[in-house]
Amino acid sequence: WKGLLCTNLPDCVQAINCVSSLPIPLSTPPECSVNAIADLVFLVDGSWSVGRENFKHIRSFISALAGAFDIGEDKTRVAVVQYSTDTRTEFALNRHSKRGELLKAINTLPYKGGNTMTGDAMDYLLKNIFTEVAGARKGFPKIAMIITDGKSQDPVEEYAERLRNIGVEIFALGIKGADENELKEMASIPHNTHVYNVPNFDVIKTVQKKLITQNNLFHNVDHIEMTSNVFSTPECSLGVDVQADVVLLVDGSYSIGLQNFAKVRAFLEVLVNSFNVGLDKIRLSLVQYSRDPYTEFALNTYNDIASVVKAVRTFPYRGGSTNTGKAMNYVREKIFISTRGARTSVPRVMVLITDGKSSDSFKDAATNLRNIDVEIFAVGVKDAVRSELEAIANAPAATHVYTVEDFDAFQRISKELTQSICLRIEQELLNIKKRSEILVVVQLRTPGTAISCNLEQRNTQLGCGAWL
């Protein structure tokens, strides 16, 4: 598994299963670029009851969990604080921005020794770690993982509540002599995913496996509101009852890679969260393509935002070449049809996201989509060809074509793109309304005679002559 890079938790299972079978101490945890970004703090009991030999197991546990995140200044930040009679910062959130440096620091943590003052230690986190000076970021998920082997010698409930009140998600791992009720006093709810208690240090790795491969730790990071992420969800000014069919066409070719595909998922999550999803509102479809296109979900698959977000977070990376033309033909023939949930007389939008030049012809496919009133937006990343994007998208290019230098730059365009999509939906709704009202041909009984009037005039029988 060496060198395996994972972009979501199912992809990481193979690596973690391999790692959890290795003998402790674990020196090189798997590289997993998890679709979660947070400020993660390990609060470690270094009291005398732990012992130097058992402290090695704690180091390995921290190393495995921290190593499963994508570490960086603008990604996940990690801090380690050790406590006993007093509390000390081993390293703060802004100390290590490279994964290798972080793991080296974890694997060389010194053992402290002393009593077990867990309450004081949590107060220390509040005052000295989850602060801007120490590297904590506003608007990012905050996680504290407390690891202890015994009952605290001071009260914990009040300090734990203070941490939770500033938005810290608390996990508690108790080992050997830890008090179950005290762990629950400290941890966030639900306790079945935040409290872990094991009989000895040798079985810590079973908790490690649960936290990573069963999604418990990362699930909670991912479900903190998107406003806490590096992307903030732009507000869409559409009314609550607005209807539209929106298709996301995503390049899943080999050139993107697993790590960057996690960033594509995060970007898609921002987009879908900006819409009011529902059966009689905005319907969303996701199609991934490489050599061949694949429907991840159709317009009539999901009718609530929670289901859409879950699907966006978990759809797999497929890999292959970049047949954009074939994919657009697929969208026209297989997605914008009534049996897959497409509706008549509602705005139709397609958002293309690609990182490279198409391997097949695409101009006719794009024209055919536009000819059935599909408004096309194109997002190009890295090696995407601007002229190709402009040939695919609707005019004007200024509001329909977006390019970014790399996958980390999606945040820069997310707000503008979303607002452009919403504006075009509003404009198309007005166009549809006008088309339905402007000319209604009324066939008179006299053959060959017709009178035109709008629907309002027809309803009032004014201006259209006699109704026969």
Residues in the chain: 468
Nearest CA-CA partner of 353 in 287, 291, 444, 273: 287
pLDDT number for residue 235: 56
Pick from 132-141, 159-168, 361-370 the range whose average pLDDT is largest.
Answer: 361-370
Alpha carbon distance 20, 33 (integer Å): 18
Decide if pLDDT at 405 tops 70.
yes
Least confident of 271-280, 284-293, 294-303, 401-410: 401-410
Alpha carbon distance 451, 443 (integer Å): 7
- Which helix (H) or strand (E) element contains residue 222? helix 216-222
CA-to-CA dists, residue 334 to 293, 329, 346, 376, angstroms: 10, 8, 18, 17
Question: What sign for the dihedral angle of Cα 129, 132, 133, 134?
Answer: positive
DSSP at 44: E
What is the arithmetic mean of pLDDT over 311-320? Answer: 90
Residue 351 pairs in a beta bridge with 248, 377
The dihedral formed by the CA atoms of 60, 125, 166 and 210, expressed in degrees to the nearest 10 = 10
pLDDT number for residue 336: 97
pLDDT band at 296 (very low <50, low <70, confident <90, very high): very high
> Mean of the per-residue pLDDT values for the chain?
80
Alpha carbon distance 88, 98 (integer Å): 22
What is the arithmetic mean of pLDDT over 305-316? Answer: 92
pLDDT number for residue 28: 41
Count of alpha carbons within 13 angstroms of residue 26, beta-carbon side = 27
pLDDT band at 304 (very low <50, low <70, confident <90, very high): very high
pLDDT band at 4 (very low <50, low <70, confident <90, very high): very low
pLDDT number for residue 366: 97
153 vs 230, higher pLDDT = 153
pLDDT number for residue 349: 97
Nearest CA-CA partner of 64 in 107, 35, 95: 107
pLDDT number for residue 236: 62
Q: Are 79 and 135 in contact (CB under 8 A)?
A: yes
Nearest CA-CA partner of 38 in 230, 214, 206: 230
Report pLDDT digits (tens) over 11-39.
Answer: 333 333 333 333 333 334 444 444 468 89
Q: Are 117 and 86 in contact (CB under 8 A)?
A: yes
Look up residue 226 and give its two tokens.
Answer: 């998107």
Look up residue 258 and give its two tokens.
Answer: 């697993």
The dihedral formed by the CA atoms of 182, 183, 185 and 186, expressed in degrees to the nearest 10 = 130
pLDDT number for residue 220: 52
Alpha carbon distance 360, 329 (integer Å): 12
What is the arithmetic mean of pLDDT over 409-428? Answer: 86
166 vs 303, higher pLDDT = 303
Alpha carbon distance 80, 145 (integer Å): 10
Residue 41 pairs in a beta bridge with 79, 144
Q: Are 228 and 375 in contact (CB under 8 A)?
A: no
DSSP at 311: H
- Which helix (H) or strand (E) element contains residue 465? none
Decide if pLDDT at 196 tops 60.
yes
Least confident of 34-38, 56-60, 134-138: 34-38
pLDDT number for residue 410: 82
Nearest CA-CA partner of 376 in 325, 334, 407, 421: 421
Nearest CA-CA partner of 238 in 302, 281, 280, 272: 281
For 218, phi then psi, to 5°, come to: -75, -30
Q: Read out DSSP for 322-366?
A: --HHHHHHHIIIIISSGGGT--TTS-EEEEEEESS--SS--HHHH
- pTM of the predicted model, to two decimals? 0.50
Q: Are 335 and 348 in contact (CB under 8 A)?
A: no
Structural domains of the chain sorted by starting position, each given as residue range(s) with its CATH number in brackets: 39-214 (3.40.50.410), 244-431 (3.40.50.410)
pLDDT number for residue 453: 43
CA-to-CA dists, residue 67 to 100, 111, 137, angstroms: 9, 21, 20
pLDDT number for residue 52: 80
pLDDT number for residue 232: 52
Least confident of 64-68, 267-271, 327-331: 64-68
> Residue 23: is the preceding peptide bond cis (ω within 30°)?
no
pLDDT band at 234 (very low <50, low <70, confident <90, very high): low
Alpha carbon distance 43, 58 (integer Å): 11
